[in-house]
Amino acid sequence: GIQSYNYQVERGTLGYAYYAVTVADARGNHNSLIDSSVRDGPIMENAFDPWIAEPTNVQAVYLGGGTTNVTWIDQIGAEGESYHVWHAWTKLSAATNLSLEATLVAIIPDGVQYALIPIPIDKDRLSYYCVTSVTRYNHLGATYEDTRFQQNCILLPVNEDTLAPAPVTLAQPMLQGGQRVVLLSWINSLAEEEETYTVWRHLGTPFDDNETGNISDDDGWEVMIDHYEPSPAETTILREVYLVAELDRYTWYALIVADEWSNSRDSLSNRSNAWLVHEDTTGANAEVTLGPEGEDGVTSGALKGGDYRLKILSNEPLQEFPQISVYTSNYDSATGAGSTFTPEQEITRATPFLSSDTHFIWDFPIPNGMQTSDLVVEAELIDDAGNSRTLVWENWSIDAASPTIELFAPSYDSKYLYGDDIRIHGVVTDDVGLIEVKFRLIDVREFFENPSQWELVNDVSPLDTPDNTLIFDMKEPSATFVEPGNHKIEILATDTAGNEKLFVASFYVDHCYENLSGMTFCESGSTPFQEETVEPAAPPDLTSPPYIIIIAVGAFNVLLLLFAVLMGVLAAQDPTKKKKKGDDDEYDEEDDWMLEFMGGGGGDGDSGSAADVRADLDMDSTPTRDLSTSKALVDDDDPFSTDDGETKKRRKSKKEKKVEKEDDEDSDDGDDDDWGDDDDDEPKKEKKRRRPAKGGKSKKRKTIKRKKK
List of residues 6+ apart from 529 with CB closer than 8 A: 485, 486, 508
| Sign of the four-CA dihedral 426, 429, 435, 439 | negative
**How far is it, in rounded angstroms, from Cα 332 to Cα 340?**
9
Q: Where in the chain is the domain with CATH 2.60.40.10?
A: 419-522
The structural architecture, per CATH, of the domain 174-280 is Sandwich (2.60)
Q: Please answer whether residues 375 and 349 qualify as being in contact, where contact means their C-beta atoms are separated by less than 8 angstroms.
A: no
**How far is it, in rounded angstroms, from Cα 657 to Cα 645?**
16
Residues lower than pLDDT 50 in the chain: 526-534, 579-587, 599-610, 613-614, 617-618, 620-709
Q: Where in the chain is the domain with CATH 2.60.40.1220?
A: 287-398
State residue 242's pLDDT score. Answer: 94
List of residues 6+ apart from 466 with CB closer than 8 A: none
State residue 57's pLDDT score. Answer: 93
State residue 237's pLDDT score. Answer: 94
**How far is it, in rounded angstroms, from Cα 72 to Cα 506?**
127
**What kind of fold does domain 419-522 have according to CATH?**
Immunoglobulin-like (2.60.40)
Element housing 628 (H / E)? helix 627-637
CATH class of the structural domain 287-398: mainly beta
Beta pairing partners, 303: 398
pTM of the model: 0.53
**How far is it, in rounded angstroms, from Cα 551 to Cα 542?**
9
List of residues 6+ apart from 638 with CB closer than 8 A: 647
Beta strands in 511-558 (DSSP E): 512-514, 520-522
List of residues 6+ apart from 24 with CB closer than 8 A: 30, 31
pLDDT tens per residue, range 290-309 = 998 888 889 998 888 889 99
Q: Please answer whether residues 279 and 244 qualify as being in contact, where contact means their C-beta atoms are separated by less than 8 angstroms.
A: no
State residue 447's pLDDT score. Answer: 84
DSSP classification of residue 616: H
DSSP classification of residue 164: P
